[in-house]
Structure 1
Amino acid sequence: MSASSELVFIPFAAAGHLVSMVEMAKLLVDRDDRLSVTILIMKFPFDSEIDSRIESLAASVAARIRFVLLPRRSHSPRTSRRAFIHHFMESHKADVRDAVAELSARGSPRLAGLVIDMFGASMIDVGVEFGVPSYVFFTSGAAFLGVMLHLQSLRDEQHMDPTSLKGSDVELDFPCFANPLPAAKFLPMDVFREEDCRISLDLALRYRKAKSILVNTFAELEPRPVEALASLGAPAVYPVGPILNIKVESKRGFEILDWLDQQPDASVVFLCFGSKGCFDEHQAKEIAQALERSGYRFLWSLRRPPAKGKLEAPCDYADPAEVLPEGFLNRTAGVGRVIGWAPQVAVLAHPAIGGFVSHCGWNSTLESIWFGVPIAAWPQQAEQQFNAFQLVVELGLAADIKMDHRRDFVEGSDGVVTADEIEGGIRKLMEGEEAGERRKKVKEVSEKSRKAVMEGGSSYSSLARFIEDVCSQ
């Protein structure tokens, strides 16, 4: 049966966004023969591996999914992270319009709508131009969506300037959280920069113009935030997660998995901080001291930050010993490993992993829940990580290491988390009665995450409603 309706996916190029949107596309075409998907790929100016990555993704998808690579655009590297993302997406708007025009001109299958990354909400204008609905794919959780909508409402309806809250004692009552939060301590740092604040809240304003929002969460994980979105004026919301690429790759080439095979169950602390996670020498030494003093087995993915002021991807250290305390690798050789890039899904799926020291990126949070691994939460930057942190701590799924840490490698670091703080978080994660209760809760939520996407589950049913919305127009 040939597809009768085509959706155009417009993801942001970062790995966490691209992979989850591809998984979403796969889920849609697997669920309904009426649908086909074209995914428009933007290329980072500093990403030399995007072509091979797309080849790998294309080999794993159904025939009714195809990729279209857009021209690479140049960008000034000296800008804030939020401003870079905004200008990156805007610079591709004409390319997106041309690609959609070509698809629309074919006539069959009919162009049914655009599915737009949360960072590309201005692409709704393209949908309007072609007379098709736009759907936002929110690659983070419902709580973060609620925070964005709430802050946008404060700005545009109550004329509050969020940047004025920096350093204040004001507490904000977010509908998606059980308790008010002290703004100056917990708000994402992007809110405190005037340009970044404007960009973030303008995105939230545009979300209100979408036909609906697909959220990578499940109702059982975020019942309060999901319920609160309607009161915040959001369009129809479909919780369809967890959307994850949980295929565990072969052990071939992953010597570290062989090492994990030799460790007792639930004995290893895994430290990994996402595709952008990296540490300079000062912070790396503090982590190393914490690990050595804790005495726990560990697997640590340690990566080098880009040069200050450069918006580039982190890379592996040629020799990690150059940034670690003298003799650290020798002293800990029997209990731990320091590596570069890590196959995170394969590691989290391994029974030897007993805890996950994480930056609280949303995909990492969902993966840890899926595999039933408790978290020691250490958000590294702003935005989603802050809200994922708040959520998992509030639900009793995580211990905290440093809840108000602020760091930006483009504009410079804002403080170092000490060895004492890190060691304390690891101990809370791994030992004592509280750790046992946390592990039990994570296992319970893990079961709920798996049931949500099974036939009859909350996310399965939510996705069915979205498909009928698309196909019935």
Structure 2
Amino acid sequence: MASATILFVPCWESGHFMSMVTAGKRMLDASGGALSLTVLVMRAPTAAKASEVDGHVRREAASGGLAIRFLNLPAVEPPTDYAASEEFNFRYIQRHAPHVEEAIAGLSSPVAAVVVDLFCTALLDVAAGELAVPRYVYFASTGAFLALMLRLPVLREHLNETTGGTVNVPGLPPVPMSYMPKCLTGSKIGNYEWFEHYGRRFMDTNAIIINSSVELEGEVLAAITDGRCVPGRPAPTIHAIGPVLWFAAAREQPQPHVCVQWLDTQPPGSVVFLCFGSKGFVDTAQVGEVAAGLERSGHRFLWVLRGPPVAGSSLPTDADLDAMLPGGFVARTRGRGLVWPSWAPQKEVLAHPAVGGFVTHCGWNSTLESLWFGVPMVPWPLYGEQHLNAFELVRVMGVAVRLKDDMDGGRAEPFVEAAELERAVRGVMGGTEEGRKAREKAAEMKAACRNAVAEGGSSCVALRRLVSEISPSGGGAPLSP
């Protein structure tokens, strides 16, 4: 009989998809060959996202070395009857349930467990009934966001808790409303209901696998485990196996990337790196403020500047630097600054000894990379749960210098003035006591991340325990990031 397989159903977003696949590869390593991995691939609802996923699958399939099989599910029609973006995602994913059942029925290997992305709880019931195998959720974000999602029903019932300026998230200091995830705020209906629904379904699983660690989020993970998030109901087991770091494959080129070559010419710890993720884009007015702040800071910088998305896409394009940057900026900062208009190898940049600070959108994958390499941050959250991530970085971990934004003037997005960016950049590069403390804490977190996944570390132990739940013969080699 073929060895048992773990069935993974990831979301199509790159940060979710590749984080989950990387976690699966770790599980295979830890199983010592006792398990295989089957990944069911949903067709993303947009052509750009579908192309991204196709590229990930091709690269993973070509790399070989592990027992991983990718199965493409048949395409489904996107729903047209929805009131909020999360309702669209839920209903679109729900339409894949019959195809998931068919894929399982066609497998030659017995299914040892089903693991779904945090947004794919509509598919949890596929593992119930006749299949009757353990059900897991893979949570690609923070323990803080998980605690908040589990807490959402209570917050709904006691909305007065959110009107006094702070929100009570077990395991965290009081969280100001300004740090609440933007995917939950702005309306008491819509997305909130769907995130609340996801949180309720998490409680129906055998366990939650999370891309975090006790070393990073000990108090909040303990609050979840102790049942403080959902009163009167024990929480599922939490397997904190992070940091699970997905590093985008370097583009094929005969020599190091231009950004890396430029960093090679800079003094150690002298460059502040600005990058806002795969969806990060700011308008021309904001670009002007960033340019002025960087110029006045006097520090060296590497700025990944992207252009606006094309119609029908959420992904930025290559920037037209002549059109977006203030006149004369490139000439005035030549030698100490590089503005790069396209994709950049973030891992190689953060790992480079010339980089001393990171202005980031606070996506959790980018945050973990920065922590892994011990780079202090300036949080500039844009969407999703990133504001809550910024709160943790500044108020809980102490690895970041706060960046204040201005929501006046009826702007849809936070606006950062040049003087504020100048202050934060000078701080994170060690010019203030706050910045010096952030640099010290970032160095401590670098060691903590690596200790967590080392032999005997908390994440290594958690991974072994997880695999043993699924396969009693689980065991294996030490982890890698």
Give aligned-pair identity as a percent.
38
Say whether 1:225 aligns with 2:220: yes
Say whether 1:9 aligns with 2:8: yes
1:104-119 alignment, distance < 5 Å: 106=108, 109-119=109-119
Distance in 2 of aligned mates of 1:101 and 1:300: 50
Letter in 1 for 2:144: A
1:318-467 alignment, distance < 5 Å: 319-339=320-340, 340-383=342-385, 385-394=386-395, 395-402=397-404, 413-430=412-429, 431-467=431-467
Distance in 2 of aligned mates of 1:387 and 1:405: 17
Cα distance change, pair 338–465 in 1 and its aligned pair in 2 (3 A): same
Distance in 1 of aligned mates of 2:76 and 2:368: 32
Cα distance change, pair 30–311 in 1 and its aligned pair in 2 (3 A): same
Letter in 2 for 1:446: K
**Greater RCO structure (CA 8 Å; 6+ sep):** 2
Q: What are the superposed Cα offsets for residues 321-375 of structure 1, whole Å, 9 maximum, x if unpaired?
A: 2111112122212111111211111110111100000111111111100001000
Q: What are the superposed Cα offsets for residues 295-342 of structure 1, whole Å, 9 maximum, x if unpaired?
A: 21111111123257x45322212x222111112122212111111211
Taking structure 2 as the reference length, the TM-score comes to: 0.88
Report deviation, 1:186. Answer: 2.4
Distance in 1 of aligned mates of 2:85 and 2:298: 37
Q: What are the superposed Cα offsets for residues 426-447 of structure 1, whole Å, 9 maximum, x if unpaired?
A: 1221123432222121111111
| Alignment equivalent of 2:301, drawn from 282, 298, 303 | 298
Cα distance change, pair 466–200 in 1 and its aligned pair in 2 (3 A): same
Report deviation, 1:403. Answer: 6.7
Report what 1:195 is aligned to: 190
Question: Secondary structure of the equivalent of 1:399?
Answer: coil
Say whether 1:239 aligns with 2:271: no
Report what 1:23 is aligned to: 22
Question: Secondary structure of the equivalent of 2:238?
Answer: strand
RMSD of Structure 2 on Structure 1 (CA): 2.5
**1:26/1:62 contact within 8 Å kept:** no
Quick check: 64-73 or 283-292, which moved more?
Answer: 64-73
**1:380/1:405 contact within 8 Å kept:** no
Cα distance change, pair 375–207 in 1 and its aligned pair in 2 (3 A): same
Q: What are the superposed Cα offsets for residues 256-287 of structure 1, whole Å, 9 maximum, x if unpaired?
A: 11111000011111011111111121211111
Distance in 1 of aligned mates of 2:327 and 2:420: 21
Question: Secondary structure of the equivalent of 1:354?
Answer: strand
**1:81/1:311 contact within 8 Å kept:** no
Distance in 1 of aligned mates of 2:91 and 2:222: 33
Report deviation, 1:49. Answer: 4.0
Report what 1:211 is aligned to: 206
Letter in 1 for 2:335: G
Letter in 1 for 2:180: L
Question: Secondary structure of the equivalent of 1:387?
Answer: helix
Q: What are the superposed Cα offsets for residues 4-29 of structure 1, whole Å, 9 maximum, x if unpaired?
A: 32111111111111111111111111
Quick check: 216-225 or 125-134, which moved more?
Answer: 125-134
Count the aligned residue pairs. 453
**2:14/2:53 contact within 8 Å kept:** no
**1:400/1:425 contact within 8 Å kept:** yes
Distance in 2 of aligned mates of 1:124 and 1:325: 51
Quick check: 124-133 or 72-81, which moved more?
Answer: 72-81
Say whether 1:182 aligns with 2:176: yes
Gaps of 5+ in 2: 474-481
Distance in 1 of aligned mates of 2:88 and 2:307: 21
Letter in 2 for 1:171: T
Question: Secondary structure of the equivalent of 1:300?
Answer: strand
Report what 1:409 is aligned to: none
